Copies of this chain bind each other. A is one copy, B any other.
Amino acid sequence: MKKTVMNLTLCAMFALPLTVLAQQWEALPKQAPSPADNPQTAAKVELGKTLFFDPRLSEHGTLSCNSCHNVMGGGDDNRPNSIGMHDARGGRSAPSVWNAAFLSAQFWDGRAATLEDQAKGPITNPIEMGMSDAKVAIERLQAIPDYLPLFKAAFPESREPLTMDNVAKAIAAYERTLITPDTPYDRYVRGDKKALDAQQLRGMQTFAEVGCNACHMGANFSGPALPAGEGFFMKFPNIAGSEYDKKYDLLADTGRHSVTGKDSDRHLWRVPTLRNVALTAPYLHNGKVATLDEAVRLMAKTQLNKELTPAQVKDLVAFLGSLSGNFPQQTMPRLPMTPGNSVVPPVDPHLTVKTAKK
């Protein structure tokens, strides 16, 4: 009773209807959860950061995890799809690595249960980092002698510390530090009522009234906290037949179905976080929607069958903007080097050297 009274008082103070405050608005925890078999240590995080930035984990020594998940930006590459080895590009857009630690399944189709599972994927994906298999990737790292002490420090209990499992564990440990708990939204929810402006507050209210939080709920705006791997999936488009299906080719990729083969999983997608969404254009799994305005309009229509007014779109976009940053400052890692030689293969016989100067 006391709480309701307080809420009503607050509502009166800020002239907001009850809906906004009655929602379970949650601030992001200051730490991400980590699995029992991969506790965070400073040595592991530092190794993970080094691996995350090491382009030698790719076939040509040109792409690191950071190439497509740029932590100096919004944690993605602001492209419809990323560009991998041999100029390859895929059909899905790189999701942000920021706050991925709070997702209960990884990849757009949730095919990896944990950050550890996810981290192994791109390294050996032929159209991403392109290492032919995990063995080759580990041999590459073994050829860089100064990596071994870093693995030993990060995994003191491991007999053979330089393994793909430990590569993935270290990268995942680093990724668990890539969280942004201090956005204006979080400060507002924690009590700083000046952290959001009037338009952002209207957007927050609209977010709840329209029903965006039916899927984008919880502290990470990606659904409830579920056991790792369970994932929170929703159908998209939920209401097929809108103009958007064709305009943005929404039905070509069957999402979760492409993993399980189950008809019931057709067009099911893991609900992505909305944190830093303003910084990760273009939008959707296929990156075909250029602006956040359009993504908001489209989602309201395809998921909730609602036509938003231009004012509602603006307010929602303003509110979503309050979910961006505040990014922690990071130091650059120093990559262990191989004095006198390079571990990157010298020849790409299938490619022609074009004329150029350096």
Q: Which of A14-22, A52-60, A160-168, A212-220 is near enough to bind chain B? A: A52-60
The listed residue (B53, B293, B346, B356) touching A90 by CB distance below 8 A is B356
Contact (Cβ within 8 A) A89 B356: yes
CA distance A62 to B94 in the complex (A): 13
Q: Which of A83-125 contact B (CB under 8 A)?
A: 83-84, 86-95, 107-109, 111, 125
Known: A330-B332, A331-B332, A346-B282. A353 touches B89 (CB 8 A): yes
Within 8 A of B (CB), among A281-320: 281-282, 285, 287-288, 290-293, 317
Q: Which residues of A (39-83) have their CB < 8 Å from a CB of B? A: 53, 55-56, 60-62, 67, 70-74, 77-83
Q: Is A357 located at the chain interface by the 8 A CB criterion?
A: yes
**A273 contacts the other chain (Cβ, under 8 Å)?**
no
Q: Are B342 and A79 in contact (CB under 8 A)?
A: yes
CA distance A327 to B93 in the complex (A): 35
Binds B, one of A24-32, A151-159, A225-233, A333-341: A333-341
Which residues does chain B contribute within 8 Å of A184, judged by CB atoms? none
In the complex formed, the residue of B with least CB distance to A122 is: B358
Beyond contacts A62-B83, A278-B340: 9 other A-B pairs, Cβ-Cβ < 8 A, are: A53-B72, A56-B78, A72-B334, A88-B356, A91-B354, A291-B341, A292-B339, A324-B337, A327-B334
Supply 18 A–B pairs (Cβ within 8 Å), ascending by A.
Answer: A56-B78, A60-B79, A61-B77, A62-B77, A70-B335, A73-B337, A79-B342, A81-B358, A86-B87, A89-B351, A90-B353, A91-B355, A109-B357, A125-B357, A285-B358, A288-B346, A292-B340, A329-B332
Give the chain B neighbours of A279 by CB distance below 8 A.
337, 339
Contact with B along A232-275 (1 / 0, CB 8 A): 00000000000000000000000000100000000000000000
Q: Mark A162-177, 1 if CB is under 8 A from B, else 0.
A: 0000000000000000
Q: How many angstroms between the C-alpha atoms of A330 and B55 in the bound complex?
A: 18
Q: Are A61 and B79 in contact (CB under 8 A)?
A: yes
Main secondary structure of the interface of A (DSSP, over half): loop
Point out which of A55, A61, A357 has the most chain B C-beta atoms below 10 A from its C-beta.
Answer: A357
Q: Please measure, in the bound complex, the distance between the C-alpha atom of A72 and the C-alpha atom of B53, giving whole angstroms.
A: 8
Query: Nearest chain B CB to A41's CB is how many angstroms away?
Result: 20
List B contacts of A340 (CB < 8 A).
Answer: 278, 281, 291-293, 317, 321
Contact of A62 among B79, B330, B343 (CB under 8 A): B79
| B258–A357 touching, CB < 8 Å | yes
Collect the chain B residues with CB atoms within 8 Å of residue A88's CB: 354, 356
Tell me if A127 is interfacial: C-beta within 8 Å of chain B.
yes
CB <8 Å contact, B324 and A339: yes
> With the chains together, A81 CA to B299 CA distance in Å?
45
* Chain B residue at minimum C-beta to C-beta distance from A333: B72
Give the residue of B82, B331, B335 whose beta carbon is less than 8 angstroms from that of A330.
B331
Q: Which residues of B contact A331 (CB under 8 A)?
A: 329-332
- Also in contact, A83 and B60, with CB within 8 A (given A282-B346, A329-B332): yes
Is A344 at the interface (CB under 8 A from chain B)? yes
